[in-house]
Every structure is written in C-alpha cells, then in structure tokens.
Amino acid sequence: MIVQILPQVGGKWRDTCLTLPTMELGKPVKISDLIRELRQQLNVSQEKFAAKLGVSLRTINRWENGSTVPSQMALKLIEEMLEKMGEPGKRLVNEYLPKPEQREDF
C-alpha cells in the first residue's frame, strides 16, 4: 500500500490519496471498493458499519465515495474484521490487498 500526500494550491495540504497495487486487469484497486464490498459481505448498512468501527455514517460515506481514506487505526480494525470473516475475508484480502511476492536474495 502506498500513501501519497499531495500539496494543494496555496501551500495547504489536502487529504491523503491511498493508492493500492494494480490488479491483473491493470486497473488500480481503490480502498473505497474494499470498504463497500466488505460492508456488503457483512450485510450491514453504512450506519451499522460505522458503529462497528466507531466512526460516523458520514465518514463511511466519504470512504466509499473516495473523497477520504480510512486512518491507520481504522485500517487495522478493517483488517481484523476481514480476518474474522474466514474465507470470504481472505478472498477480499487477496483481491484488494495482495502482498508483494517475497523473494529470496542469495
């Protein structure tokens, strides 16, 4: 996962832009897609998902529409939710958060 902080006109900083690895189709994966699919897999509304994470409904809405990204703490909670889901969670992790191939350097 790569987090970029992009400057805004006037020297002010705007929200971070979260860029995830590119999937096989060559399309960048968005954290908003992961959030939405996780919530749908759990079969909960944005409001109930927000309550599970201790954030507001507005925050979940912003994550899903891509205007903001989750904090590191929220990402950790999301990761824990994925782990507790078993196979469906594992599928989402593999699809949206693939680990770079580990190679051994001799």
> How many other CB atoms sit within 10 Å of the CB of residue 57?
14
Torsion of CA 12, 76, 86, 98, to 10 degrees: 50
Residue 74 domain-assigned? Answer: yes
| Res. 60: pLDDT tops 80 | yes
Rg, the chain, Cα only: 15
List the CATH number of the domain containing 45: 1.10.260.40
Q: Give the integer Cα–Cα distance in Å for 60 and 23.
A: 24
Residue 39 domain-assigned? Answer: yes
pLDDT at position 29, please?
A: 56
**Confidence band (pLDDT; 50, 70, 90) for 2?**
very low
Residue 5 domain-assigned? Answer: no
In terms of residue numbers, what domain contains 59?
A: 23-96
Task: Enumerate the β-bridge partners of residue 22.
Answer: 28
| Res. 78: pLDDT tops 50 | yes
Residue 55 domain-assigned? Answer: yes
**Confidence band (pLDDT; 50, 70, 90) for 93?**
confident
pLDDT at position 18, please?
A: 45
Query: What pTM does this model have?
Result: 0.64
pLDDT at position 12, please?
A: 47
Structure token pair of residue 19 = 């860029």
- Residue 28 phi/psi, 5° resolution? -65, 140
How do residues 6-59 score in pLDDT, each as one tens digit? Answer: 444 454 444 444 444 443 444 455 789 999 999 999 999 999 999 999 999 999
Nearest residue to 34 via CA among 99, 98, 100, 102: 98
Number of independent structural domains in the chain: 1
More confident of the two residues 96 and 72: 72
Q: Give the integer Cα–Cα distance in Å for 101 and 99.
A: 6
Residue 12 domain-assigned? Answer: no
pLDDT at position 1, please?
A: 44
